[in-house]
Structure formats: structure tokens, C-alpha cells
């Protein structure tokens, strides 16, 4: 305590006089001070190593908020501000996203339905609202097209399809079939998408109607009406695609599978779930239900 008092008041009183008044050896104080500074430096360097290892373990996909939560889950006492500071000092930054081209073809004569979802992106139960969209992924041979279906309850990607064509049989229908295998439909389920022909055509519309699903579509030119699906594509592109060399169609299919099934659905911490993984979020809900 005496040493800490002296250190805290070095700019107020002469060090030698404080040592004399507090009956502390001048040399012992400086030995303690050097040791204290050294321990701080060692702790800082250790934290930097942990942050660096964790950053690259998650393939440079995490910024300071997610890294901080992950470290705290492992019992490391550290703040987001400190994580951000150390990341800047080491030149680490999460992968940045870029703008990507729109794949929606809404120039058709099929029936357009209203936006029944109305940006109600927070759902308290599973299978009350699913959102879907399509994007392109560049590969050496040209492009692959990824169709996704997410449940707004836990943001899990329950259905997806990767194809080299844009027909309904290659995009929205196979993604829908996978979603049915992964999650049961609840009464009153809303299926929201853009106005693309893959969602508006009679084949897909009749499929949804046969399950008594309520169709919903974004307003023309309004990407915010399907913000959750757009957000997934932003994460996918920034964390997997951008900054990497073009690879073959076969290799990209493997990369996308690993990203969705092993990373996004199981390991990634989602800001919309208070930085929990999807599994942690669902376990928390189950435990809360039993506790009640």
C-alpha cells in the first residue's frame, strides 16, 4: 500500500521524502516499481498473443466485440476497449465487406404479394417467420448462386442451395426442401423474400400455398425489407469471399458448406443474439423454459 501511495503521488511530492516519511527504502521502492511495470508488460504481451491466436483461429472474421465476448467466455477478464486497442497495435482488423451485385430479376408478370413481415425481424418462437434471398459467388469457372433460408427466431440458416443456374428448381425449391427437413412448420408461418422470379413464379408459390404458408415480399427496390438475409450475405462475403483468390467451383462448394454448417450455424457469435452462438441461444431458451 505504501508503494502504491508513492507511485500515485510521484508528481505531487518528491519520492525520497515520501520514502522517508513512510519509512520505505528508496532502493526497495524502485525494485518494486520495476517489477510492477514488468508484470504489466508481461500480462499485456500475453493478452496480445491470446488475441492474435483467437483472431486467426476464427480466420480473421472477428472484430473486437466478438473477440471480447469469446475471451470472456474463456474466463479472461478483458474489456472490448482493451481488445480493440491491442488489435490496433497489432494491426488486426476484421475482414471488410464490399458492395455486391443484385441478382434479383423482378421483371416478370407473376403475382406480387404484400410485405406482411413488415420488418418484424425479432421473433419469439421458431418457424414464425423465415426469410430468403439469392446471391452470386465468383469462382474460376464463372459464378455460383447461393439461395438461403433463415429462421428469424435464432437466425439459423435452415435451408440453402448452391447452384450454377438461377432456375427455381436450382435455387428456391431445393433450399425450401432442406428447410423442411431441418425445421417443422408452425401455423401462420410467414415466408419473406424479394420479388425475384424464383419466388414469385407459380411453381414456388403453389408449393408454399400447399403448406398453408403466408407469402411476403419486399417493396420494390427496398433492401431493408429483407435486412437479415442481406446481413447474412454481407457476413459471408466479408468473412469468406473477399480478399481471397478465385478458386474452383468444387472447392468453393466445400468452403461454403464449411462456412454455413460448421461456422455460421455452430460457432459464430451473432450480435442479434447478444453475441451468443445459435446453440448457446437455444440452450438458454430451453433452460429458461424449464426453469419457468
**Do 159 and 280 fall within a single domain?**
yes
| Banded model confidence at residue 131, pLDDT cuts 50, 70, 90 | very high
Instruction: Note whether residue 105 is domain-resident.
Output: no
Instruction: Note whether residue 113 is domain-resident.
Output: no
Instruction: Note whether residue 111 is domain-resident.
Output: no
| Banded model confidence at residue 95, pLDDT cuts 50, 70, 90 | low
Per-chain mean pLDDT for the chain? 88
Tell me the mean pLDDT in the region 72-88: 90
**Do 42 and 162 fall within a single domain?**
no
What is the domain count for the chain? Answer: 2
| Banded model confidence at residue 37, pLDDT cuts 50, 70, 90 | low
CB 216 within 8 A of CB 192: yes
Q: Is residue 291 predicted with pLDDT exceeding 70?
A: no
Tell me the mean pLDDT in the region 217-221: 88
Using CA of residue 173, residue 179, residue 184, residue 186, what is the dihedral sign?
A: negative
Instruction: Note whether residue 64 is domain-resident.
Output: yes
| Last residue in a domain, options 37, 70, 90 | 90
Distances (CA, A) of 29 to 7, 9, 22, 37, 82: 9, 13, 11, 12, 29
Does the model's pTM come out above 0.95? Answer: no
**Do 160 and 276 fall within a single domain?**
yes
**Do 77 and 138 fall within a single domain?**
no
| Banded model confidence at residue 103, pLDDT cuts 50, 70, 90 | low
**Do 264 and 168 fall within a single domain?**
yes
- Give the structural domain span for 21: 2-90
Instruction: Note whether residue 116 is domain-resident.
Output: no
Instruction: Note whether residue 103 is domain-resident.
Output: no
**Do 76 and 139 fall within a single domain?**
no
Amino acid at each position: 500500500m505504501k508503494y502504491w501511495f508513492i507511485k500515485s503521488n510521484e508528481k505531487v511530492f518528491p519520492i525520497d521524502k515520501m520514502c522517508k516519511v513512510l519509512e520505505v527504502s528508496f532502493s526497495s521502492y524502485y525494485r518494486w516499481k520495476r517489477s510492477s511495470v514488468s508484470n504489466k508488460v508481461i500480462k499485456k504481451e500475453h493478452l496480445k498473443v491470446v488475441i492474435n491466436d483467437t483472431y486467426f483461429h476464427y480466420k480473421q472474421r472477428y472484430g473486437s466485440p466478438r473477440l471480447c465476448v469469446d475471451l470472456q467466455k474463456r474466463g479472461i477478464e478483458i474489456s472490448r476497449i482493451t481488445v480493440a486497442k491491442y488489435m490496433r497495435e497489432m494491426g488486426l482488423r476484421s475482414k471488410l465487406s464490399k458492395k455486391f451485385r443484385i441478382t434479383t430479376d423482378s421483371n416478370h408478370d407473376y403475382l406480387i404479394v404484400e410485405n406482411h413481415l413488415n420488418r418484424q425481424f425479432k421473433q419469439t418462437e421458431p418457424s414464425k417467420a423465415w426469410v430468403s434471398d439469392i446471391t452470386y459467388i465468383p469462382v474460376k469457372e464463372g459464378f455460383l448462386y447461393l439461395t438461403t433460408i433463415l429462421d428469424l427466431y435464432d437466425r439459423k440458416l435452415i435451408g440453402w442451395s448452391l447452384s450454377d443456374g438461377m432456375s427455381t428448381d436450382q435455387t428456391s425449391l431445393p433450399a425450401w426442401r432442406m428447410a423442411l427437413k431441418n425445421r417443422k412448420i408452425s401455423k401462420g408461418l410467414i415466408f419473406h423474400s424479394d420479388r425475384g422470379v424464383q419466388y414469385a413464379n407459380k411453381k414456388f408459390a403453389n408449393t408454399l400455398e400447399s403448406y398453408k404458408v403466408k407469402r411476403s415480399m419486399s417493396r420494390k427496390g427496398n433492401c431493408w425489407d429483407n435486412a437479415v438475409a442481406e446481413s447474412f450475405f454481407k457476413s459471408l462475403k466479408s468473412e469468406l469471399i473477399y480478399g481471397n483468390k478465385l478458386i474452383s467451383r468444387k472447392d468453393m462448394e466445400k468452403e461454403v458448406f464449411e462456412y454455413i454448417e460448421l461456422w455460421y450455424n455452430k460457432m459464430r457469435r451473432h450480435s442479434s443474439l447478444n453475441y451468443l452462438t445459435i446453440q448457446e441461444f437455444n440452450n438458454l431458451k430451453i433452460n429458461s423454459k424449464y426453469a419457468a
